[in-house]
Structure formats: structure tokens, C-alpha cells
Amino acid sequence: MSNALGLEVKTIVETPPEEVERVKEWINTDEYKEKNFARQALVINPAHACQPLGAQLAAHGFEGTLPFVHGSQGCASYYRSTLNRHFREPAPAVSDAMTEDGAVFGGQNNLHEGLENAYAIYKPKMIAVFTSCMPEVIGDDLTAFIKNAKQKGFVPKEMPVPYANTPSFSGTHINGYDSMLLSILQNLTEGKQIEGRCTGKLNLIPGCDFNTGDYREYKRILEAFGIPYTVLADISDSFDSPCDGNYHLYAGGTKLDDAADSINCKATIAIGSYSTAKTFGWVKDNFSGKHASLPMPMGIEKTDAFIMKVAELFGKDVPASLKNERGRAVDAITDSHQYIHGKKFAVYGDPDYLMGYVSFLLEVGARPHHILCSRGNKKVEKDLQALLDGSPFGQGCKIYMNKDLWHLRSLLMTDPVDGIIGDSHGKFAARDAKVPLFRFGFPIFDRVNKHRYPLIGYQGAINMMTEICNKFIDIKDDTCEDRLFELMR
């Protein structure tokens, strides 16, 4: 029998319950894991987004800056809502709403009309343009388009309109962040280098970090040092702004003048060697002063490294307040080490976060048993392996490069761990594996205020240790027999 379309017509038959049961068990087996890891084409539950998202994050990090998506308006809606959900904050951005015509005529008209309108309505000090798929596929020439826009007066000639090519079919959000940030810095500092001038300031580039608490923590640390600084791409006020009855379209960001003058700095530290690779490469060659690229200062050792680098670059001693803070963090850690010692973790996320999680876990005596990097290169793998090799707690831990959260599920079901560190998307695998998910990183859609608690610095180490240990105690309290339920833990 066939229907009007020539398609076969069948009677509906329900899948037998025993077959459902069989498959339900099967997907937890080693056999399934092998098939799952044999995948070549299908990606299931990836732990990374696409470049423009990161580009938008970087754009929000500058004063009066309107992120501008050259592409379909749907793209912009996706980036914006993702940031809204993570930060529970506005994420104002526009697009030039390209449609089919773009494929035929190119996107210049959309870009020009978009710039004109955006400038008139939203009165930005800078418009940061980045691309989604369409213009990348059709090959729009943004250099020319923007030059023309200024010539035709759609935006003032003096207004910075940096742009970045951020094709979604290459890299992840961290690369988009890097490209946009680089473009902004190139644009703002162009011609601003002054021979002999030194601002005496430290440029700090926090990297593609979605935790506003981290930004504030960096600043607090530098203030403890008494070192003048410019945080480049400072999203802290942009995505953690007061609720006081007034909405500010541009709630925060690095002052454009400071960013322009950053080229005359005393030193620059770029955090996150993967999400600031291109930017740091350029800064190193173009900014005055000294330059350092450091891993995210997660845990005591990596924070020590950061602190010492700052001290070294500025020839300062580490202030007593930070020494004490370090001591208190170590105290918090030694006080609680027994709750995490030897515990196995699965961790996933962006390479820079991963390096931090792994370093922290190893130094407190936990085992980063499954390390899953959704997208990363050989260098990421080598750096992670070096961390593992440096600790007895790294023995037996394994790195899975370019794998997704459906791979993770197989790992969890066949080689269980005690906890998972990652973003909200891991909650399904965590539920199936019946282990807690520690929501660090990005995105966190299902818990409140997490991005306000720093993960970096000594305070970040306290925060991670506290959350993890208290959760393990929660679990003990929740699941122990009555006779083992007790006042002290």
C-alpha cells in the first residue's frame, strides 16, 4: 500500500517493552561505548558553541560598544539569548538581518543600513562587527564594506568599527573571542603608540571567561598590589550590573581611551593561552613593555604563578594581604582535603578552563579521571598530559580530545566517577550516571548567580573546594543509613 505521494503506508506498531528495556541497558555497555567512540561524522551534545558567540562576549567588554552581527538576525537572537540565560542579564546586540538577497548581492547593503540605524538609535561609541555563516560562505569583504560605510556617512569616520571574521564552521567561541578582541585592540590602538611613553599600567586580558566574579577578582588582586591596570575586555559590569530601576544599554566595559592607550603599557598579561593565542601573538609584537601569557589562575599553584608574575613584572613584593589570603585559602583546602582526596572526576569544557580544573584537582588530591575536550589541538592535549604526568594523582587519568557529551556519557556509564565538572549541558549525563555535576564554566542555565562567584585566584580555590566538598558531604548525609547519619562530618 502506498499513499498519494507514493510513500508506503504502514500500520503503527509500538516498540515492544522488552526491546526498549534491552536498548536502555545496551546504551550503558562497553559494546555501545565502542560503537559510540567509532563515530566519524555525527556529533551528539557538543560542549562548544560557535565563534560569533565569543566575539559578542569580547565586544561587550568595551565601553559603549554595540555588538553587530553581520548575518541573519536569527544568529544574533541565539547569541543574545545564550548570554541572557547564563548571566541572567541583558545582552544588547544587533544584526543586519541578511536574507536570501544576501546570497545573490552580498551583504553590503544590509551592513550599511544596519550601521546607519544602529548608530542613530543606540548611540554607541564603538560598533564591533562580526560575522555569522552567510557572509563567510559568500565571501563578503568587510574591510571594503566598512570603509565604504564611513565614506558614505552611515557612521562617523572617527567611530571605531572593528570587525572580525568569525565563521561558525571553524574553531569554537573561544576563537571568535580571540579574533574579535584582536580586531578591537588593533583598531583602537592604531596610531596610538607613543615613543617613550609608558602608562605604568598592566594590561590584563582575562581571556574568554564567562565568570564575572573572575574579572572582579583579578581587579581586587591588582588593587591589593597597588598596580594600575587596564582590564582589556572587561565584561564584569556589562554582565553583572546593578538592578536599581534604570536600564543602561552599555553597562560596563573597558574605557576606549584606556584600551587605546594600552599599547603604551608597562606590561601585558594574557590569561588563557588558547582563547587569547592570536591576540597575545599580536600584542607581544606590538605593545610596549613586557608580555606574559599565563594559564587561568585556578587553584593555589596557578594563582601563585599569576601573583608571582605580576610581582616580577612590576618589581613588587607580594603584599601581605595576598599572602594572608593565600594562607587562608590553603587553610580552607587543608581543612577539607579529606572530602575530595582520591575522588574521581570527569571534567569537560574549553581548554583554558580544563587546564584550571585539572591543575586544581591534582593539587588537592583528586583525580581528573576523564578529561574531555570538546575541541582543541595537539597543544591542548600535550599541556594537559604534562599536568597529569606531574602528579601521582594524574596516573590513570585519560584525555579525550574532540569528543562530545554523548561520548562522556559512555565513559561515565562504563568507568564511573564521583563527580563531574562542567557546564549545565552535562546535567543529563550526570543524572544518568547518578553523580553530582559541579557547574563551573559556561553556560550555566539552571542555577542562579554562579557567575558571580570567582573560580580564579585564592578565593576561587576556596569557592571550588567548598562547593565540591560540601556537596560530597550532602550526598553522604542524604544517602547514608540512619545509623551512620551524624552531627559531625
Partner 1 sequence: MSDKIRKVEGITKESTEALIAETLSVYPEKAKKKRAPHLGANDPASGSACVKSNKKTVPGVMSARGCAYAGAKGVVWGPIRDMVHVSHGPVGCGWYSWGTRRNMMSGITGVTSFPMQFTSDFQEKDIVYGGDKKLKTLLEEAHELFPLAKGISVLSECPVGLIGDDINSVAKQSAKELDIPIIPCNCEGFRGVSQSLGHHISNDTIRDFIIGTREYAEPESPYDIALIGEYNIGGDAWSTKPLLEECGFNVKSVWTGDGELEKIAATHKVKLNVIHCYRSMNYMCKVMEEKYGIPWVELNFFGPTKIRNSLRQLAELFDDTIKAKVEAVIAKYDPIMQAIVDEYKPRLDGKKVMLLVGGLRPRHTIGAYEDLGMDCVGSGYEFAHTDDYDRTAPEMPDATVVYDDPSEYEFEKFAAALKPDLVGSGIKEKYVFQKMGVPFRQMHSWDYSGPYHGYKGFEVFARDVDMAINSPTWKLVKAPF
* Nearest alpha carbon to residue 444 among 175, 171, 210: 210
Contacts of 387 (CB under 8 A, 6+ apart): 355, 358, 359, 362, 394
Is 104 an active-site residue?
A: no
Q: How many residues touch its own copies (CB under 8 A)?
A: 46
From residue 333 to residue 372, the character string flagging contacts with partner 1 as x (rule: CB under 8 A) and all else as - is xxx-xx--xx-------------------xxxx-------
**Closer of 169 and 196 to partner 1 (Cβ):** 169
Selected from 55, 59, 128, 134, the binder of partner 1 by CB under 8 A is 134
Q: Which of the residues 69, 94, 129, 133 is marked catalytic?
A: 133
Is 133 an active-site residue?
A: yes
Q: Which of residues 462-481 bind its own copies (CB under 8 A)?
A: 462, 465-466, 469-470, 473, 477
Letter for the amino acid at 469?
C
Using the rule CB under 8 A, is 248 a contact of its own copies?
no
423: cell is 557546564
Phi and psi at residue 202, in whole multiples of 5°? -95, 130
**Closer of 103 and 473 to its own copies (Cβ):** 473
Using the rule CB under 8 A, is 244 a contact of partner 1?
yes
- Is residue 460 within 8 A of residue 206, CB to CB? The reply is no
Q: From the list its own copies, partner 1, none, pick the one residue 321 interacts with, judged by a Cβ distance below 5 to 8 Å according to partner type.
A: none
How far is residue 97's CA from residue 65's CA, in Å, rounded to a whole number? 19
**Closer of 53 and 469 to its own copies (Cβ):** 469
- Is residue 106 within 8 A of residue 70, CB to CB? The reply is no
Contacts of 211 (CB under 8 A, 6+ apart): 442, 450, 451, 453, 454, 455, 456
Q: How far is the CB of 10 from its own copies (least distance, A)?
A: 27
Radius of gyration in angstroms for the set of CA atoms belonging to the chain, rounded to a whole number:
25
- Is residue 217 within 8 A of residue 362, CB to CB? The reply is no
Selected from 156, 198, 247, 470, the binder of partner 1 by CB under 8 A is 247
372: cell is 574531555
CA dist list (Å): 303 to 161, 291, 324: 36, 17, 14
430: cell is 550526570
Selected from 20, 144, 194, 386, the binder of partner 1 by CB under 8 A is 20
**Closer of 148 and 193 to partner 1 (Cβ):** 148
Q: How far is the CB of 247 from its own copies (least distance, A)?
A: 12
Using the rule CB under 8 A, is 73 a contact of partner 1?
yes
Question: So which residues are the catalytic ones?
Answer: 133, 137
